[in-house]
């Protein structure tokens, strides 16, 4: 188990993280979300032992993870960290990069392992391409494969799919997270993307103003967002009578107290996001077809949030 116990950390005077505590079980998928600058990357770096903590402790199993004051080499053996800037060897091939830290003692096994890893990150066709000729997204996939090559016990991923296009992202996410679960590798992901969290995470935390403002199962946090900031991570939402209501929870009905006037419609693929006026305030709801600006209608809040 990873135990983060009441940590405090500042780069300068103001704390970037304070009173941060949470536990992650072996094999669990844990997500860290928060606005830009909320300390997600800093938290991953602290878990990796990049900096010394001002207060608190971090343990993996019974071993304390200590910073550079105590270690010449940053990062414990059993842990891998994939930063936003990936550090690859440009003049050798994808396969050579992935195999760089694998033992040469059993060449056949090494070849098989590289093949397996190339499949996980869907880079088989680029096995013999030099990394310098790859796109940003392809390089990010090499970095991911390299991080799992030696089968760490725990992997820290900072925005792991940020450079990868939407075509590849969906299948890559499934492939990587499935692989990590199968191998029982604990995975901690800092992300802006709810698609990294909702379908895959066992637990998540939300950082704001240097502290954890929510910690729990994604389903619970999604269904009961405590603040507008949390709701905004998941999608378009409204505050109606002091309650947070997602756009998809509103439906048009014949009569209700919520009388709105349509302002604009945005095509979203399988639905339209409708912007409407409710007593001088903008309100957003989803509808299956486009509505004319100026149309007056009534809305109802659906009961089941997942509908």
| Binding interface with ligand ATP (CB under 6 A) | 11, 16, 34, 36-42, 190
Q: How far is the CB of 190 from ligand ATP (least distance, A)?
A: 6
Q: How far is the CB of 35 from ligand ATP (least distance, A)?
A: 7
Kindly list the distances between the CA atom of residue 228 and the CA atoms of 38, 153, 185, 238, in Å, as whole numbers in the listed order.
Answer: 16, 35, 33, 8
Report yes or no: 36 and 20 within 8 Å, Cβ to Cβ.
no
Q: How far is the CB of 221 from ligand ATP (least distance, A)?
A: 18
Q: Of the two residues 27 and 67, which places its CB atom closer to ligand ATP in the complex? A: 67
Give the DSSP H or E segment for 91: none
Cα–Cα dist 157/266, whole Å: 33
Q: Of the two residues 11 and 288, which places its CB atom closer to ligand ATP in the complex? A: 11
Nearest alpha carbon to residue 82 among 184, 195, 182, 162: 162
Q: Of the two residues 31 and 38, which places its CB atom closer to ligand ATP in the complex? A: 38
Q: How many CA atoms lie within 13 A of 208 on its CB side?
A: 10
Q: How far is the CB of 60 from ligand ATP (least distance, A)?
A: 21
Q: Of the two residues 15 and 225, which places its CB atom closer to ligand ATP in the complex? A: 15
Cα–Cα dist 274/110, whole Å: 55
Specify the 3-state DSSP secondary structure of 172: helix
Q: Of the two residues 94 and 212, which places its CB atom closer to ligand ATP in the complex? A: 212
User: How many residues does the structure list for the chain?
Assistant: 307
Q: Other CB atoms closer than 10 Å to residue 125's CB: what's the count?
A: 9
Q: How far is the CB of 152 from ligand ATP (least distance, A)?
A: 21
Kindly list the distances between the CA atom of residue 182 and the CA atoms of 113, 179, 220, in Å, as whole numbers in the listed order.
Answer: 15, 5, 25
Range 270-286 burial, b when 16+ CB lie within 10 A, else e: eebbbbbeeeeeebbbb
Q: Of the two residues 39 and 99, which places its CB atom closer to ligand ATP in the complex? A: 39
């Amino acid at each position: 188990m990873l135990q983060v116990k009441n940590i405090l950390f500042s780069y300068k005077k103001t704390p970037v993280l304070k009173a941060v505590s949470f536990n992650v079980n072996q094999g669990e998928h844990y997500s860290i979300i928060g606005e830009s600058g909320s300390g997600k990357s800093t938290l991953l770096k602290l878990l990796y032992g990049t900096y010394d903590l001002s207060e608190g402790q971090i343990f993996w199993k019974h071993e304390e993870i200590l910073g550079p004051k105590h270690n010449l080499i940053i990062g414990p053996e059993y842990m891998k960290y994939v930063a936003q800037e990936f550090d690859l060897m440009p003049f050798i091939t994808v396969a050579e990069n992935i195999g760089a830290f694998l033992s040469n003692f059993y060449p056949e096994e090494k070849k098989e392992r590289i093949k397996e890893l190339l499949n996980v990150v869907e880079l088989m066709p680029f096995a013999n391409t030099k990394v310098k000729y790859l796109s940003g997204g392809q390089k990010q996939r090499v970095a991911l494969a390299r991080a799992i090559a030696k089968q760490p016990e725990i992997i820290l991923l900072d925005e792991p799919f940020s450079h990868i296009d939407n075509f590849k992202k969906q299948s890559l996410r499934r492939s990587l997270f499935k692989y990590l679960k199968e191998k029982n590798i604990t995975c901690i992901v800092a992300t802006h993307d709810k698609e990294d969290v909702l379908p895959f995470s066992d637990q998540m935390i939300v950082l704001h103003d240097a502290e954890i403002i929510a910690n729990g199962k994604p389903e619970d946090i999604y269904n009961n967002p405590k603040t507008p900031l949390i709701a905004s991570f998941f999608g378009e939402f409204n505050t109606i009578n002091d309650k947070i209501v997602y756009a998809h929870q509103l439906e048009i009905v014949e009569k209700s107290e919520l009388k709105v006037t349509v302002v604009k419609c945005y095509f979203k693929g399988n639905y339209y996001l409708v912007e409407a006026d409710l007593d001088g305030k903008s309100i957003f709801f989803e509808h299956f077809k486009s509505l004319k600006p100026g149309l007056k209608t009534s809305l109802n809040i659906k009961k089941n949030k997942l509908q």
